[in-house]
Amino acid sequence: MATPHQGSAARLPRTLALATRRTFLKGSALTTGAFFINTRFSLAALGGDVPPSPPTTPFLEPLSFARYAIPRPSFDPLTPAPILENFQRIDEFMPAYQYEIAVREILARPHPQLGLSRFSTYGGSAPGPTFMARYGQPNLVRFRNELPDKIQGFGSPEIITHLHNGNHGSESDGFPAEFYGPGYFKDHLYPNYPAGGNYVEAKGTLWYHDHCMDFTAQNTYRGLAGFYLLFDEFDSGDEYDTNPNAFRLPSGVPDGGRVKNRYDIPLVLTDRKFDADGVLEMDPMDMDGYIGDKWLVNGKVQPYFDVERRKYRFRVLAAGPSRYWDICFSNNMEFSIVGTDGNLLPAPLVAQRFPLGQGERVDIVVDFSQLPESTTAIYLVNRAEQLDGRGPQRDLLPMGQSARLLKLNIRPDAVEDPSRIPQVMRPLGPITTTGLPRREWKFDRRNGMWTVNNEFFNPNVSRATVVQGQPEIWHFDTNGGWAHPIHFHLEEGRILSYNGKSVEGTMLGGRKDVYTLYDGDEMEVYANFRDWTGRYVMHCHNTVHEDHAMMIRFDIVKPS
C-alpha cells in the first residue's frame, strides 16, 4: 500500500498519531478528537445565542471559477518518482499524466465586505483546481502537504484526499486513517476506468475533498474540495462533436487539445459563518451539524453570473458540511435534469426544483433562450429551511423568503447554440436481486455521538467483508428525527426501493453514490464492487456526523 513520503523534516509517526487521536476522542464527547480545536467556547453548546455574520451586499462580485489542473510536462516528471508497484493493476493503468497539487494555506476574502480569512486549499484556491480528465487516460496525482504545522482556530494540518466515487484501488482512495502532516506527500493513481469496464456506467461529475479522520468537516469547511470531471466519447465535453455517439451537451469548443467549457458550469454550494470581524469561523464542539448564514457559490458570497440566451449545463454540488438544499430558479422556470451524482440518467427529466443532500450532485441543462425578452435577471434559489444539523424542515420556504444564491444576468441577444439535450443517455442494464446476500445498516445516535449499527468508527476493525464481484443488497434505515446522506466509497449503487416504493423514472432511479435518508426513512440499495480489493469506508456525508463517528470500514476481498 502506498504511504505518504517524508518531506524535509521528521514528523510524528502516523500510527502513534492515530492512537493518540482515538484515545483523545473516546475520552471526551465534547471534543472533535482534535489536537487543534477552536479555543473559543461554544455559545450554542452553552445555550446562548450565536451572533449572525456581518451583513454583506449581495451580487457585488462575479462568479469565480477554479483554474484547470495542468499535468506536469513529460520532460519534468515527479521527483522523487512514484512507486508504481504499490498500485493495483498498474500494468493495465500506467499513468498517462502526472499532476502535483500543493495543499497550502492562503488568506482570502469571500466577499469585499468581509475580513481576510485563512483557508486551506488545493493549489491556492477554494475550490481547488478542476481536473478535466478522459477515460482511458489514467492520472497519477501527488498531493503535497505544505500547510503550516499548526492551524489557527479550527481544522487540522493533517490531510488525506478522497476522490469522491472514483473507481480506483484502496491505496488511492484516501482512507481516513491514512492522514499525513506537513512535509509529506501521497500519490494517488486514478485509472479513469468505468466500473466493471462498462462505459454505460462511466461517471462524469466527481469531486475530491479532504477525508482526514475526525477533521473532514473542518478541513473541507476551510476549503479543501474541488471538481474532477471525466469525459468519454459519449459525454465528450464538445458540443460541436461530429461523432454520432456524442451527446453534445452544452460545453464549449476545443482549444489546443483541451476544451474551454464556457457553457459547462460547475457550481459548488456551501454555507459559512463569519465572526464580527468578518473572519471565517466554525464551532468544532457542535456535533449535531454546523449551519452557516452566508451563501457561497464557488467560494464567493452570493455572486452574479452573466449568461447568454442559450443552453447551459450546471453541475450543482452540495459540498457541506451539514446544509440541505432545495434548488430552483426564482421564476420557477423548467429545466432538464440529465444526471444525478456522478452519472447521467437513462433519459432527461423535466423539473422545476430538486433537493440536495451533502455530497450529492445534480446535473441540469437550462435553456435561457426560452425566457421572455423582457427578462434581464433571475436567481438560483434555495427554498429549503434548516435550523440546525437535524435536517431540513418538511415545508419549503415561500419564494419571497428563500435564499438567493446566485444572480443570473440575462444578456439580450440570441446566440448560436449547437448543443442539445439527448433523449437517451446512460441506460440501466438489468440486475438480478433474487438470493443476494443482504446487509442491514442502521444509522443512529449514542452518547451524543453518531453510530452505524450502534458502533463508532474504528479504522482498525472491518464491519463487513465483501466478495469482489458478488452483488449484495444493503438496507439502510434511520430514526430519531435526524437526516443522514449515506455514501459508500468506490462503486455507485442502484436504489431498489425507497420506503417500500419503486424509484423508477425519478431522480433516484439512476445510479447513485449518496443516498439521502430523512427521519424514519428506509432504502434498499443494490451494490456490487467489481474492480478492486482492499479497505474502504461508508459514512454519513453530513461530515460533522462522520467525524463523530458515523462511519464504518468494509473490506473487499477476492473470491475464494
pTM of the model: 0.92
In CATH, which of 3.30.420.40, 3.40.50.10260, 3.30.200.190, 2.60.40.420 is domain 438-557? 2.60.40.420
Q: Residue 30: what pLDDT?
A: 34
Is the fold of 14-260 the same as that of 438-557?
A: yes
- With a CB cutoff of 8 Å and minimum separation 6, the contacts of 459 are 18, 175, 176, 177, 213, 553
Per-residue pLDDT of the chain (560 residues; tens, 9 = 90+): 445 654 433 233 333 344 344 433 433 333 333 333 333 334 444 445 679 999 999 999 999 999 999 999 999 999 999 999 999 999 999 999 999 999 999 999 999 999 999 999 999 999 999 999 999 999 999 999 999 999 999 999 999 999 999 999 999 999 999 999 999 999 999 999 999 999 999 999 999 999 999 999 999 999 999 999 999 999 999 999 999 999 999 996 544 444 456 899 999 999 999 999 999 999 998 999 999 999 999 999 999 999 999 999 999 999 999 999 999 999 999 999 999 999 999 999 999 999 999 999 999 999 999 999 999 999 999 999 999 999 999 999 999 999 999 999 999 988 999 999 999 999 998 999 999 999 999 999 999 899 999 999 999 999 999 999 999 999 999 988 899 999 999 999 999 999 999 999 999 999 999 999 998 999 999 999 999 999 999 999 999 999 999 999 999 999 99
Helix locations, 127-269, DSSP H: 216-221
Cα(207)–Cα(225) distance, integer angstroms? 7
The pLDDT score that the predictor gives to residue 4 is 60
Alpha-carbon distances, residue 275 vs 224, 278, 294 (angstroms): 21, 5, 11
Q: Are residues 542 and 482 in contact, defined by beta-carbon separation less than 8 angstroms? A: no
In terms of DSSP H, where are the helices of 87-182? none
- Which residue carries 437535524 as its cell? 390
Give Rg (Cα) of the chain.
22
Dihedral of the alpha carbons of 398, 399, 402, 403, in degrees to the nearest 10: 180
Q: 91 is written with which cell numbers?
A: 500494468
Give which of 111, 123, 114, 356 is closest to 224, Cα–Cα.
Answer: 123
Per-residue burial over 487-498, b if 16 or more Cβ lie within 10 Å, else e, is: bbbbbbbbbbeb
CATH code of domain 264-414: 2.60.40.420
Q: Mapping DSSP to helix (H, G, I), strand (E, B) and coil, where does residue 272 land?
A: strand
User: What tens digit of pLDDT does each residue of 452-480 get?
Assistant: 999 999 999 999 999 999 999 999 999 88
Q: How many Å separate Cα 310 from the centre of its chain?
A: 28
Task: Count CB neighbours of 259 within 10 A.
Answer: 22
- CB of 180 closer than 8 Å to CB of 139: no
CATH placement of domain 14-260: 2.60.40.420
Q: Secondary structure of 169-187 in the HEC alphabet? A: CHHHCCCHHHCECCCCEEE
Contact 219, 554 (CB under 8 A): no
Domain ranges of the chain: 14-260, 264-414, 438-557
Q: How far from 437 is each of 25, 445, 531, 557, CA to CA, in Å?
A: 34, 26, 19, 15
